[in-house]
Amino acid sequence: MDEQFADVGDIRLCYETFGERGNTPMLLIMGLGTQMLAWHEDFCRELAGRGFFVIRYDNRDVGRSTHFEDVPPPRPSELLRRRIRRPAYTLGDMADDAAGLLEALGLASAHVVGASMGGMIAQAVAARHPARVRSLTSIMSTTGNRWRGQPAVRIYPYLLARPPRTKEEGVERIARVFRVIGSPGFERDEEELRTMAALAWDRDSSRTGTARQLAAIIASGDRTPDVRRISTPTLVIHGTNDRMVRPSGGRATARAIPGSRLMLVRGMGHDLPRAVWPRLIGAIAEHAARADEGAQAKAVA
């Protein structure tokens, strides 16, 4: 990995880039407790091969970016009641990190792609920093509405479980989680998943950040009014078999954003299996191209 670091206010973000610097920028934002590794290198290289300068990064409190260990994680009772007494930050703060990273890299704007919590952050970037976002792609995400996109009941024990104590426990837990939330309609390479989980542990064995990130989601509440303000061209992608963020979350996102397009992927769960990459990468690249063409047409007019 060719890791680099950028200071964004008081936060230091770890990031990596793929493709030529002069190409159209595309920023990839990952989800809850998940490092940038989940945007697989091959996935990033394929996007770069489509003519994009791809940036992936670790959100605050995960991977090699700044952690908030001085703020105790919320108690399970707070998470269950959805009442966070002392959130370390909100999704808005995480969106400001993303916009700040673009600024630190000298990039005026980028196509922004987010998955799961990363989709929530990407939505917030488009709402708070519209000039920074050329297009928005929100994958397996939701608006924060309590009646839309909620996890299946069997997922809650994984969200509320104590952090693993050893690398072996951490890798095994990831494998178990993705057997539950992964895509039933596509083959999953569990060995590749375990390899990624082991590398993630080596990069960052702290696990309290996941609870703080979950608290940020809860503390941000229903973001539908903000999502409705988004004017950038938007593609919403969601799997029909997503148990972590039910498909109603994707539908709610598409309904809230004027002019957005909803793409449902049959058999896809809450992951990005290789077998679905061609469809996802093609859709993301085509959406970005249409957005750039539309912006150029407006500029000429």
Burial (0-12, 13-18, 19+ Cβ within 10 Å), 296: exposed
Are 250 and 143 in contact by the 8 Å Cβ rule? The answer is no
Are 139 and 34 in contact by the 8 Å Cβ rule? The answer is no
Q: Return the domain boundaries, the chain.
A: 4-300
Q: Global pTM?
A: 0.95
Residue among 136, 121, 91, 96 at smallest CA distance from 257? 136
pLDDT reported for residue 33:
92
Region at 69 (left for phi over 0; alpha for psi -120 to 50; beta for the rest): alpha
**SS3 (DSSP) at 13:** strand
Q: What is the mean pLDDT of each run of 10 residues along the chain (301 residues)?
A: 93 98 97 96 98 98 95 79 86 98 98 98 98 98 91 74 84 90 91 93 87 92 96 97 96 97 97 96 97 82 66
pLDDT reported for residue 234:
98
pLDDT reported for residue 277:
97
Give the pair of three-digit tokens for residue 124: 């917030």
pLDDT reported for residue 301:
66
Residue among 264, 287, 288, 261 at smallest CA distance from 276? 264
Q: Which residues pair with 18 in a beta bridge?
A: 54
Compute the distance between CA of residue 178 and CA of residue 101 in angstroms, rounded to an integer: 30
Compute the distance between CA of residue 147 and CA of residue 190 in angstroms, rounded to an integer: 32
Q: Check residue 73 and report its DSSP letter.
A: P
The Cα angle at residue 274 between residues 269 and 275, in degrees rounded to 5: 80
Are 285 and 227 in contact by the 8 Å Cβ rule? The answer is no
Say which CATH topology domain 4-300 has: Rossmann fold (3.40.50)
Residue among 224, 37, 53 at smallest CA distance from 134? 53
pLDDT reported for residue 1:
74
Compute the distance between CA of residue 101 and CA of residue 124 in angstroms, rounded to an integer: 15
pLDDT reported for residue 295:
79
